[in-house]
Structure 1
């Protein structure tokens, strides 16, 4: 005789992985102990406070994996399939300090590498994510989507100084920082000019390499040396960035267009219409990014996704530095800011991990406990009544 089938979140996740395998996503099982550097470099220094860190005998900083995207990507790059289209699914524990909540929890998901048909691959990820929530018994989820590539296209079209491009793209993944920067810039234009602002503006508008060489030389002449572990060149680079930011280099028309862009929201179809209207009115060359959004929406519809239930917002971002395009989250209605499933496109990550050439990549993660809790709540008498 056989005993009863296992139940619980892990068993449900195993069933989910079986469906992913049937869809062509092989099981990946990366090591739990990982080099810490990729997480710190690619996810942002903010993640350090949640990592469980240690050091090996050679002095290398290691960590318990805080997620599975980077470990799966590293294993893929080390495999014979590196550079070729390949899809992986996973289920396993991840480790993060979460202030009073369990630091070890289960995560499942999918990573897809090497597909050149980006809009179709994006749509497939969202469709599989929705299927995962449906398999858990959740018939209704809130679908939030965005696209950092659209924001990057806007910044490129505004032809800003490189330092502003870097700053604003970094801010985009940290919503509070972006809002604060835009507000500060609006106030800064009203502030009195200082006696050296003309010099700062000249530095901001000059060739970056030439300006960096000038500041480095001036610091060397003044006898500056390494401070706090930074070289003279690194200090000069930081000074140049700060001088550009303080010079009021972000023009008023750029500030206004960024604010107009960030309020666009609606269904993907509505967002495309609003974006095309803004581009035409402001004469912005962002047609390729809008076309990609429209193509993705078409593939979503082909996958059976009801576009009227998909919310797209130009201001939506997931807070991770390595995302380069489509981003999404699925939420249980009324569940606050914690997603059940979240993911997106990260085409630059594999190059940053050492790939010799760019490899397209997209995927998502599932928080198994959240999914199980939401499923239980929706099937309870109170949940059904609500």
Structure 2
């Protein structure tokens, strides 16, 4: 979308929503009051301090919606269209404690459910996100992209212990601990002998399901459900971690390959070339993930996105466990640590929300406040209610 930015009260919002409607995304307006459980389950108890919580007469914990993705997904699953391709747009207030900034703020965006043409759907999300910033009057934005599925494919190809796989992927999503853990796992820890040495030896290299079943049974026999504030799952994970670390170090060749992988960056075509070279050199079968990146880049170009202006980095991620594949952020050019728009693929969410069958999902959210502060037209939207 090009041309001068729209002016006048609410013109920016109306134009934005109309552009989403023209692209086939119908308006969603989920309830402001939501069950708190899905947010706590998916984001962890740490998010509790940011939520505005209450309890209904039946004892169910409720919250003012802190974002719109989960509410839109819940409404979709409750509809007759669940499992079928469907796309939704939204614009409305969300509520989250932000330490000195207003706790009520506007969020806009798109969620796309059920599409099986993943590269095309991913490319469409990025194209629509760029169009949204152009609608607000920003001629250029800094486009940052990545793909957690590539990192997952690499770890799977290395055939590491399950606990290492889970921990490294979790670290990648949370970023701040990945570099530290790479070095720690490369050095075998020499822990003092203890009375449960045999249990640790039995668990070494096993999967999480088996460890969880064992720890659950042991704690059930002992009549305990938690110890020191840790849940059964957390205790099982700790046993797995200790058993694996005692069994030996992360192989040095695996560590070196992970580090080489995380240095790959450039335009999407450049990244594809580097990834294919790494895979061939290391004899790793990660071609499916690389092919998906290559296909997505081609579809981006067909949508008019200048790939020379798109930065792809294998180390890029949004710092959340939420995403399963393509991720992206749009920032104000040459000045912006906080994204104006952010999103990506989250294929596991709908199953976590209760879907019996996996449903692909991809989308993005617009921080209206940030966009309003970064553009001339966006300021007309400040404080607008849904």
Taking structure 2 as the reference length, the TM-score comes to 0.88
Partner residue in 1 for 2:256: 256
CA distance in 2 between partners of 1:299 and 1:208 (Å): 38
Partner residue in 1 for 2:179: 179
Q: In the TM superposition, what whole-angstrom CA distance separates every residue of 1:251-282 from its partner, at most 9, and x where no partner exists? A: 22222211111111110011101111111111
CA distance in 2 between partners of 1:377 and 1:207 (Å): 53
Which residues of 2 match residues 341-360 of structure 1 at below 5 A? 341-360=341-360
Conserved? CA contact 1:225–1:231, under 8 Å: no
Partner residue in 1 for 2:122: 122
Instruction: Quickly say closer, same or farther: Cα 1:229–1:198, change in 2 above 3 A.
Output: closer
Deviation at residue 335 of structure 1 after TM alignment: 3.1
Deviation at residue 105 of structure 1 after TM alignment: 0.6
Partner residue in 1 for 2:8: 7
Instruction: Quickly say closer, same or farther: Cα 1:100–1:276, change in 2 above 3 A.
Output: same
Conserved? CA contact 1:44–1:320, under 8 Å: no
3-state DSSP class of the match of 2:8?
coil
Deviation at residue 201 of structure 1 after TM alignment: 5.3
Instruction: Quickly say closer, same or farther: Cα 1:325–1:217, change in 2 above 3 A.
Output: closer
- Greater shift, 38-47 or 314-323, is seen at 38-47
Which residues of 2 match residues 149-298 of structure 1 at below 5 A? 149-186=149-186, 188-189=187-188, 192=190, 194-195=192-193, 200=200, 203-206=203-206, 225-228=224-227, 234=233, 237-247=236-246, 248-298=248-298
Conserved? CA contact 2:174–2:321, under 8 Å: no
Partner residue in 2 for 1:68: 68
Partner residue in 2 for 1:364: 364
Deviation at residue 308 of structure 1 after TM alignment: 0.6
Conserved? CA contact 1:116–1:360, under 8 Å: yes
CA distance in 1 between partners of 2:217 and 2:340 (Å): 53
Instruction: Quickly say closer, same or farther: Cα 1:241–1:371, change in 2 above 3 A.
Output: same
Instruction: Quickly say closer, same or farther: Cα 1:218–1:226, change in 2 above 3 A.
Output: closer
CA distance in 2 between partners of 1:142 and 1:295 (Å): 22
Instruction: Quickly say closer, same or farther: Cα 1:277–1:25, change in 2 above 3 A.
Output: same
Deviation at residue 231 of structure 1 after TM alignment: 9.6
Partner residue in 1 for 2:26: 26
Partner residue in 2 for 1:382: none
Deviation at residue 209 of structure 1 after TM alignment: 5.9
Ranges in structure 1 where 5+ consecutive residues have no aligned partner:
380-386
Instruction: Quickly say closer, same or farther: Cα 1:216–1:377, change in 2 above 3 A.
Output: closer
Partner residue in 1 for 2:382: none
Conserved? CA contact 1:138–1:378, under 8 Å: no
CA distance in 1 between partners of 2:101 and 2:267 (Å): 35
Q: In the TM superposition, what whole-angstrom CA distance separates every residue of 1:116-160 from its partner, at most 9, and x where no partner exists? A: 111001000000000111111111100000001111111111111
CA distance in 2 between partners of 1:155 and 1:107 (Å): 35
Instruction: Quickly say closer, same or farther: Cα 1:204–1:82, change in 2 above 3 A.
Output: same
Deviation at residue 163 of structure 1 after TM alignment: 1.5
Give the CA RMSD over aligned residues: 2.7
Partner residue in 2 for 1:137: 137
Q: In the TM superposition, what whole-angstrom CA distance separates every residue of 1:212-246 from its partner, at most 9, and x where no partner exists? A: 6666677778x573444989964752442232353
- Greater shift, 64-73 or 207-216, is seen at 207-216
CA distance in 1 between partners of 2:263 and 2:107 (Å): 33
CA distance in 2 between partners of 1:194 and 1:207 (Å): 24
Partner residue in 1 for 2:384: none
Instruction: Quickly say closer, same or farther: Cα 1:251–1:216, change in 2 above 3 A.
Output: farther
Conserved? CA contact 1:220–1:232, under 8 Å: no
3-state DSSP class of the match of 2:177?
helix
Instruction: Quickly say closer, same or farther: Cα 1:302–1:235, change in 2 above 3 A.
Output: closer
Partner residue in 1 for 2:37: 37
CA distance in 1 between partners of 2:52 and 2:12 (Å): 28
Deviation at residue 52 of structure 1 after TM alignment: 1.3
Deviation at residue 37 of structure 1 after TM alignment: 1.2
Partner residue in 2 for 1:300: 300
Instruction: Quickly say closer, same or farther: Cα 1:227–1:43, change in 2 above 3 A.
Output: closer
Conserved? CA contact 2:346–2:362, under 8 Å: yes
Taking structure 1 as the reference length, the TM-score comes to 0.88
Conserved? CA contact 1:51–1:96, under 8 Å: yes
CA distance in 1 between partners of 2:219 and 2:111 (Å): 47
